[in-house]
Structure 1
Amino acid sequence: MRLRAAVFGTACLLTLAACDGGGDPVQQALRETAAANQSATVAYDQVETAATPLTETEAAYARTQLQRNREAVAAARAVLAEARDARVRRSAQAVVDSRTREIAELEALVPGAPAE
Structure 2
Amino acid sequence: MGTATIQVRVLAVAGRRVWVAVSGTLCAATLRVLHYSLCARVTDERTHFYLDLNSVHWDKNLPAAELPRLLPAGGRLRFHIVGAHDGFRTPLGADERCRFHSDVASAWAAWSRQP
TM-score using structure 2 length: 0.21
Q: TM-score, normalised by structure 1?
A: 0.21
Hey, which of these two has a bigger chunk of strand by percent?
2
Over alpha carbons, which structure has the higher Rg?
1
- Counting helix residues as a fraction of each chain, which structure ranks higher? 1
